[in-house]
Copies of this chain bind each other. A is one copy, B any other.
Amino acid sequence: MSQAPGGAGGQHDRILDEAAKLFIRFGYHGISMRQIAEAVGISKAGLYHHFADKQSLFLAILLRNIERVGDLVDEARAQGGSTREVVARLVNALLVGMVGGQRFIRLAEQDASSLDPDARDTVRSVYRQRFIDPISAVLQGGVTRGELRGVEPETATWLLLGLTLAGLSTPPERASAMATEIVRLFFEGVGAR
């Protein structure tokens, strides 16, 4: 039996951890509550003791992971430095710091269609508030201080995340080098000087 990473300990968190792995690998519809229960080592009914239904479990996973990457953004910002330094810390944290290539962002985008409209709005709102907006603010600050050319901050944020997502498929041992390459491409491009 493995313990919950981060020392949380409870079954609740253990379920979130195991279910997150499976959802990330197979998608919302690709995994059943039975399989999740089996992975956790409890019965399916036991699972329903902790979460009202499949969607509630999925939603809890999405929100928890958004909080986690939101914390990564906060930490990257808090340490200060140039726009490029902040972005470099953030990309590195997303690529290296997320254990085992947690591609939950892709999951959140792809399987948002599996949620009902209310839940989807909640996810979108928190995602924007804790992830997109803070990164946009960093880039906006870079434009204001003349460190970046006049890009639209939100567009630039999406493109930076596109680069980072593409980089997530790199093997863990090359994650750091990939982060460096992403940051360089984002700021300098690939054109010859």
Residues of A whose CB lies within 8 Å of any CB of B are 25-30, 84, 106, 110-111, 113-114, 139, 142, 146-149, 151-152, 155-156, 158-159, 161-167, 169, 178, 181-182, 184-193
Contact = CB atoms under 8 A, between A and B. Distances in A.
Given A113-B26, A162-B165, A191 B191 contact: no
A132 to B, nearest CB: 12
A26 B29 contact: yes
Given A30-B29, A110-B110, A155-B178, A190 B187 contact: yes
Main secondary structure of the interface of A (DSSP, over half): helix
B159 A181 contact: yes
Contact of A163 (B25, B84, B162): B162
14 contacts: A25-B113, A26-B29, A26-B113, A27-B114, A28-B29, A29-B30, A155-B178, A159-B163, A159-B181, A161-B166, A162-B165, A162-B166, A165-B165, A188-B191
B190 A149 contact: yes
A169 B110 CA distance: 11
